[in-house]
Structure 1
């Protein structure tokens, strides 16, 4: 069996073998995280119950409202630029690190100040928001991950981050056994970010790289922000049309249990996000290089990218929707039974991550990031209106329906109303012909 696999891989081009190897590492990483999450993360959710889990989710979502300031949206630009010109890595990495560190500090101050102003008497909520927001300071070390992504060498970051994650899994199990309070689990999140950052530094320097060689440049910072501000602004819109439903559920309904049910649903569904994200991080550098060589081959590979995205979406949505009640019962238990019906509907919204990530990757390569801002502003407005209308009457199911309608409009339909995006809409529709899509995949893989 191993001989057949080895023989097959030798038929592939070196570039494709490198991409598949990188994807393999990322998939193994995500499956490890998935497996541990299903055991320990679910254990934590069961332990906290719908109400406390809802409160923790509310604090996390609240901090998310300010995370655009941490400048994680610069990722694709930084990866693209270092894939094109690796010799400029020290200036790009140093500048990106300083920008993200400053952004994390702004996130911390803004989140803590705002929650104290809105809910001056909710001391526990203040602490939860402060601790979770402090973790964004360590997002700056993800700059190292950007370098490894640009070189299609994600195995190094996989090892570094998973060590921290596994260690904190053990700590969380201990917290449950000790009957620890809710705030202890927020501290565990912060500790995981700290350990992960240390691991990334060790991985980077073990490969003969030196953080001491990084240098920040005001000129480079202006270049990144000039192009990246569209992604940063789009990130605000993405938050509004992707996560504002949880914030509105927690704010508009006094009982946090409804948010707990909804958060449990999204947590299961979004586990499927790992496939399009892994695919995008491995494909971006290769598509960038391919565009410089052959426009025709580049367009063919984009179609294959969307074909694969469609298959990933359906492969996840169909079984999860049909087995939703059993999945929720097995994972969360009877206390979260209400999440079963929500999951059967919500999981179909995963076309957002499959097609949305693919479109964002293409727009980054094409240098058409202005459309991310336009689309997310439209999505944000639609989602706010729909949630405001549906949540008071239908609670979590109203938020679910609002999410699906918003994604349908912003991810698929709107492409046909903007001339420069029409080709993306066409690629998505073509990928729905499963027979042809599978045929294209077989042809290109060989």
Structure 2
């Protein structure tokens, strides 16, 4: 059975990359289902809002960019272009990620003490809990193997690793709930979750005849990755900032119970953002293949990618908006009910996040990593200002509105730069379904 193709993609190419997308999507859907049952439904009802604020304390996420140093997308791209240099690329990226983790940990501690001293309320997580969470910065280093599987379009392998790790994680968390474990046990599980992923990636990597012990550190390769990756690293920091700063500001301004409710809202929203990453990651090799020799087809593929992102994200946002009140009334404690209204607003941030993810692939393909950095910086500044304006008056609903506005600011800031202005216009055309309607008319 042949899968229907999109305009601009040859049937054979689309069939290949759609199947890879399908495996990635299946991996994430399986993971999402398990996560929703355990992390976003069972744990909130067991732990309560205040403890969920500690468990989902987002400070570690703010430093993810430093931990990875922008190596993920870069290594995938480099492996596509130079597969024969696998060991040097992987070994150099591993060393950079370990160094990044060692640099990030003290920065996390300093930021925590800063928030503790300036905030109106104590942070939701204790320092001891934060210290345990910070180990993730080191444990995640070998996850660079994911980039190898992406470069080979092996979404099926990624699916097995992620779903298996999530099933094991869910089982362990269920056992902790049955034995009435304290919050600290679930904090430790955050590190174990990442460790399970690493074990899975290493196992499947070895099954394909590779070994991490063959990796080699090459100073020249490391320097190249660092030179190209530092804007992506800071971009990741700013992305994390405007994804998670609302929760931190709610924590300091409204208390850990409010931030705990909003952390569940964020989980329900961001759990669907994987769709954008899965589609973009799987189709990225197909788009790159035509960048040099067939620029017109390359452009068409980008347009169709934007159209696809809008259709999918609007569908998801509409669904979440309709079911949010029922979901919160039926499956969560009454103390979480105020989060339903925030979720209905926050869901629409996904439309701009999807377009931002897709256009981010364009920036990587064109080597415009500094513009990527600038646009995420604008988004980070925007969300801080919007939160300062909206949280005091509207609480977590204000934080949700701030997130939507900041995502839109970041995504469409491409209109500010001459090199990306055309892409900005294409994003606008896709957002208002102009290019999609035009394509449908041409078919008649």
TM, length-normalised to structure 1: 0.91
Change (3 A) 1:229 1:172: same
- Equivalent residue runs for 1:37-436 within 5 Å: 37-41=35-39, 42-58=41-57, 61-71=58-68, 73-112=70-109, 114-115=111-112, 119=116, 125-253=126-254, 255-412=255-412, 414-432=413-431, 434=433
Q: Distance in 2 between matches of 1:382 and 1:189?
A: 30
Per the TM alignment, residue 26 of structure 1 is displaced from its structure 2 partner at its CA by 0.9
Question: Aligned-pair distance for 1:443?
Answer: 9.4
Uncovered stretches (5+) of structure 2, i.e. residues with no partner: none
Instruction: Measure, in 2, the Cα distance between the counterparts of 1:225 and 1:262.
Output: 35
* Greater share of helix: 1
CA deviation map 1:298-347 (0-9, x unaligned): 00111000000110111111121123211222332423110111111111
Greater shift in the superposed pair: 435-444 or 80-89: 435-444
- Tell me, in whole angstroms, the C-alpha distance in 2 between the residues paired with 1:376 and 1:108: 23
1:392–1:295 Cα change, 3 Å:
same
2:22 pairs, out of 14, 21, 24, with: 24
CA distance in structure 2 between the partners assigned to 1:64 and 1:267 by the alignment? 13
* Contact 1:245-1:399 within 8 A present in 2 as well: yes
CA distance in 1, matches of 2:124, 2:307: 49
Is the 2:65–2:234 Cα contact (8 Å) retained in structure 1?
Answer: yes
Q: Distance in 2 between matches of 1:393 and 1:316?
A: 28
1:139 CA drift (Å): 1.5
**How far 1:118 moved relative to its partner?**
5.7
Distance in 2 of aligned mates of 1:250 and 1:289: 46
Tell me the distance in 1 between the aligned counterparts of 2:262 and 2:10.
43
Q: Kindly indicate whether the alpha-carbon contact (under 8 Å) linking 2:32 and 2:271 is maintained by their aligned counterparts in 1.
A: yes
Superimposed CA distance per residue, residues 84-134 of structure 1 (whole angstroms, 9 cap, x where no aligned partner): 111111110110011111212222333245435765998961122111110
On the 8 A contact 1:91/1:217 being kept in 2, the answer is yes
Q: Counterparts of 1:390 and 1:182 in 2: how far apart (Å)?
A: 31
Q: Is the 8 A contact 1:304 1:441 kept in 2?
A: no
Give per-residue Cα distances to partners, 1:233-263, cap 9 Å, x unaligned.
222222222211111111222x211112211
Structure 2 CA distance, aligned partners of 1:381 and 1:252? 18
Distance of aligned partners of 1:114 and 1:272 in 2 relative to their CA distance in 1, 3 Å threshold? closer
Distance across 2 between alignment mates of 1:348 and 1:308: 16
RMSD: 2.4
Q: Closer, same or farther in 2 for the Cα pair 1:214/1:137, shift >3 Å?
A: same
Larger displacement relative to structure 2 (356-365 or 149-158): 149-158
Q: Structure 1 residue 439: deviation in Å?
A: 7.2
Which 10-residue stretch deviates more, 364-373 or 159-168? 159-168
Q: Distance in 1 between matches of 2:405 and 2:239?
A: 15
* 1:75 match: secondary structure: helix
- Shift of the 358–123 alpha-carbon distance from structure 1 to 2, 3 Å rule, reads closer
Distance 1:118 1:243, change over 3 A: closer
How many aligned residue pairs are there? 435
Structure 1 residues 294 and 198, CA gap change in structure 2 (3 angstroms)? same
Aligned to 1:35: 33
Does the 8 Å CA contact 2:352/2:407 hold for their aligned counterparts?
yes
CA contact (8 A) 1:80 1:288 kept: no
Q: Are the aligned partners of 1:307 and 1:441 in contact in 2 as well (CA < 8 Å)?
A: no
Q: Is the 8 A contact 1:277 1:357 kept in 2?
A: yes
Structure 2 CA distance, aligned partners of 1:378 and 1:124?
28
**What stretches of structure 1 of length at least 5 have no aligned partner?**
none
Secondary structure in structure 1 of the residue aligned to 2:342: helix
Residue 308 of structure 1 contacts residue 441 of structure 1 at CA under 8 Å; is this kept in 2?
A: no
